[in-house]
A and B are shown apart, each in its own frame.
Chain A
Amino acid sequence: QVQLQESGPGLVKPSETLSLTCAVSGDSISRYYWSWIRQPAGKGLEWIGRIYTNGNTIYNPSLKSRVTISVDTSRNQFSLNLSSVTAADTAVYYCATEGGNYFDPWGQGTLVIVSS
Chain B
Amino acid sequence: DIQMTQSPSSLAASVGDRVTITCRASQTISNYLNWYQQKPGKAPKLLIYAASSLQSGVPSRFSGSGSGTDFTLTISSLQPEDFATYYCQQSYSTLWTFGQGTKVEIK
Which residues on A are within 8 Å of B, measured CB to CB? 35, 44-47, 50, 58, 60-61, 94, 100-109
Contact = CB atoms under 8 A, between A and B. Distances in A.
A67 B21 CA distance: 33
B79 to A, nearest CB: 22
B107 to A, nearest CB: 22
Interface in B12-56: 32, 34, 36, 42-46, 49-50, 55
A102 B87 contact: no
Contacts of B101: 44-45
Interface of B: 1, 32, 34, 36, 42-46, 49-50, 55, 87, 89, 91, 94-101
Given A45-B87, A102-B89, 14 more contacts: A44-B87, A44-B98, A47-B98, A58-B94, A58-B95, A100-B49, A101-B91, A102-B46, A103-B46, A104-B46, A105-B46, A106-B43, A108-B43, A109-B43
A61 B95 contact: yes
Contacts of A50: 96
Contacts of A106: 43-45
